[in-house]
Amino acid sequence: MDYQQLIEEVYQEVKTKNPRGKVADYIPELANVDADRFGIALVDLEGKVYGVGDYDQPFSIQSISKVHTLTMVAHIFQRKLWSRVNVEPSGNPFNSIAQLEFEKGIPRNPFINAGALVITDALTTKFENPVEEVSRFIHEVSGKDCVTINQDVMNSELRHSERNTALAYFLKAYQNFDNPVEEVIKTYVAHCSMEMCCVDLARSFSFLANDGYSIYAKREIVTESEARRINALMLTCGFYDESGEFAFRVGLPGKSGVGGGVAAVMPHQFSIAVWSPELNEKGNSVKAIMALELLTDKLKFSLF
């Protein structure tokens, strides 16, 4: 398979069709990103990198970091963790307070904001310096020091963190939150403010395409069973309340972020990251979704 030719074809088709969306502005600093940026990087299981467009330009990964933090605590807390957060698609906005109250403080899944706050709370319980540990983990699974925290984005998110703070206090009211709310919010905002380029992001997801084994760390990051479960969560819950549509159109486990990035895996084949800042009404990158749909159409295979 000529992956370079494949992603170049996909890139040109998307550029020609040029679907438009709207750059995220509820975090004001994200609104300053050039809306026309667009890059794709694909990494196979031998570590070969194929890229096109702005694939080496760092961007704010936002909610994609939730896959990294989930991976870090899932095998540590195991059954206890899954009593604190569910594994069902939400069908509601990713920051819904009403859903959390309706379900009595147990978030639907670890990728909506309430669920990710529970994961970050568990991370804070486990590690004395959780932000440093997230960076260290990503560096290990991507095989290089590639993460920086954009302080301007972080400060912008902290200044507009009222809803996440409200979610955290709701969780605390239902005894599903162990650490000080402000401390966890700072950690949560920090890992969402991390910047990576498409190549490094794809590399950091490679172990999930390889049954949990990292070719960069040269060790098992999670078991094959745990990797399957993380992939299942990405497929069913990784795109907010557009997850069913993504599974229908693309058929790959993946995770999006409001910075315009999407990371996805084809198990036993490759990992891929696509970045384009303009989002649809569900908060997912319009060009990245189209690119991945074209990719699986051209490959003539997906999980299904």
Q: Mind telling me the catalytic residues?
A: 63, 66, 188, 240, 258
CA distance 210 to 228: 10
Query: How many CA atoms lie within 13 Å of 303's alpha carbon, on the beta-carbon side?
Result: 20
Please count the other Cβ atoms lying within 10 Å of the Cβ belonging to residue 268: 9
For residue 287, what are the CA distances in angstroms to 102, 112, 193, 259, 276?
Answer: 34, 22, 22, 13, 6
Residue recorded with tokens 């940026």: 37
CA distance 131 to 218: 23
